[in-house]
């Protein structure tokens, strides 16, 4: 298991670090880190009262246990009779606001099973015997152009924040880490779940509720993927017998992952905010500095947009949905769920007037001062 935890209280986290830890350069957008072998604790150098972005201020402290770091932590835990379950529960209880940003759960298979290798699973995918909620897969093999055996074999199923990584650990150790003493014929395949975001939270919440990591691992794996028989039985493709045995566990953990509801209004608004809003405001400021009225330019954009979508029935439906999102008036929804009104010229004028009042009364009013493009950019970034 590998794990990344984030803590809000920077000062408290620094106080518990022993003097034997070494301080070094940061990573993952943190300024510096304390390191003890394969355990890293990252901090930001923020002075009290200094101005920082909201994102940077909310980063807190990040504690990273690599795979080897977990083994080192286990060695220390054994001395005091503490288990991972005890550690996680104590840690999450002690630091209010602590949450996991990534958790990796891995299963190592040493008993030879040619069905579960990366290349074998790729063949199951090609034969359409893999049923998965993940839509993406990627198979990567490495070798030398001069010839010789394959030096690396990895299959990825899914993408962040939930990804299954199947790889030949023997090849990785021999060719990636120089463990030449290992026999190339030995069998070591790793099935690793890399979980971030809400999926990492599910793991920690389940541990806090007393669930075992083994049961959590297999429950997530069974929910994500299954290998089925090629022949249908009563119109269905039941799981292959060997697969059922491979993913069996003593208990099934209820994985309550709150999948985000697809909201077209919110998705389009986020896209506009991320990609259009900055450029739009810059254009409005430039138009105002040139002596124009921002509301006139905005009104022009709205009218142009309205004229273009009228010729497309699908786009018109989106326009009606946009009208509801802007007006927030449920009374405009008919019993059939259709929108009874369209955006008219009066609505456009009202929106333009509201925009003009916002720009005219707020911080964007700079009509009496001349600014360079660089100065305008600086204003937008502050």
pLDDT tens-digit map of 87-127: 888 888 887 778 888 899 999 999 999 999 999 999 999 99
> Which of 341, 355, 347 has its CA nearest to residue 303?
347
Backbone angles phi, psi at 178, to 5 degrees: 75, 25
Query: What local confidence, expressed as pLDDT, does residue 157 receive?
Result: 97
Query: What local confidence, expressed as pLDDT, does residue 246 receive?
Result: 94
> Which of 140, 139, 137 has its CA nearest to residue 224?
137
Helix/strand/coil (H/E/C) assignment for every residue in 147-211: CCCCCEEEEEEEECCEEEEEEEHHHHHHHHCCCCCCCCCCCCEEEEEEEEHHHHHHHHHHHHCCC
**Secondary element (H or E) of residue 5:** strand 2-7
Look up the pTM and report it.
0.61
Residue ranges, the chain, pLDDT below 70: 1-20, 46-57, 177-185, 231-235, 255-268, 306, 308-382
Query: What local confidence, expressed as pLDDT, does residue 261 receive?
Result: 47
Contacts of 367 by beta carbon, 8 Å cutoff, 6+ apart: 288, 289, 291
pLDDT in tens, 252-277: 887 665 454 455 556 667 777 778 88
Query: What local confidence, expressed as pLDDT, does residue 132 receive?
Result: 93
Query: What local confidence, expressed as pLDDT, does residue 94 receive?
Result: 82
CA gap 214, 106 in Å, rounded: 9
């Amino acid at each position: 298991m590998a794990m990344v935890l984030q803590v809000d209280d920077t000062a408290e986290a620094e106080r518990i670090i022993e003097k034997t830890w070494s301080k070094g350069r940061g990573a993952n957008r943190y300024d510096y880190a304390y390191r003890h072998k394969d355990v890293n604790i990252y901090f930001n150098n923020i002075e009290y009262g200094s101005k920082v972005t909201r994102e940077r201020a909310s980063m807190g402290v990040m504690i990273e246990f690599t795979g080897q770091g977990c083994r080192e932590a286990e060695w220390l835990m054994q001395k005091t009779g503490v288990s991972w379950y005890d550690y996680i529960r104590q840690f999450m209880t002690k630091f209010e606001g602590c949450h996991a940003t990534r958790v990796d759960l891995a299963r190592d298979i040493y008993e030879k099973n040619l069905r579960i290798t990366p290349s074998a699973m790729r063949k199951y995918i090609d034969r359409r015997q893999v049923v998965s909620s993940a839509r993406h897969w990627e198979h990567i093999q490495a070798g030398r152009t001069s010839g010789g055996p394959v030096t690396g074999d990895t299959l990825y199923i899914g993408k962040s924040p939930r990804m299954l990584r199947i790889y030949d650990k023997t090849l990785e150790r021999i060719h990636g880490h120089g463990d030449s003493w290992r026999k190339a014929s030995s069998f070591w395949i790793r099935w690793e779940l890399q979980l971030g975001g809400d999926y990492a939270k599910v793991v920690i919440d389940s541990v806090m509720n007393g669930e075992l990591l083994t049961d959590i691992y297999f429950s997530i794996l069974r929910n994500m993927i299954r290998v089925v028989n090629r022949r249908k039985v009563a119109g269905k493709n039941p799981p292959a017998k060997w697969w059922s045995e491979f993913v069996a566990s003593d208990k099934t953990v209820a994985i309550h992952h709150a999948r985000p509801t697809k909201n077209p209004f919110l998705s389009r608004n986020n896209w506009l905010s991320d990609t259009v809003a900055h450029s739009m405001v810059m254009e409005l400021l430039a138009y105002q500095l040139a002596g124009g009225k921002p509301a006139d330019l905005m009104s022009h954009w709205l009218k142009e947009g309205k004229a273009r979508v009228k010729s497309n029935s699908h786009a018109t439906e989106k326009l009606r949905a946009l009208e509801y999102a802007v007006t927030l008036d449920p009374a405009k929804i008919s019993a059939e769920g259709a929108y009874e009104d369209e955006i008219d010229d009066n609505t456009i004028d009202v929106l333009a007037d509201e925009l003009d009042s916002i720009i005219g009364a707020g911080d964007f009013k700079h009509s009496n001062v001349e600014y360079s493009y660089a100065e305008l950019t600086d204003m937008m970034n502050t």
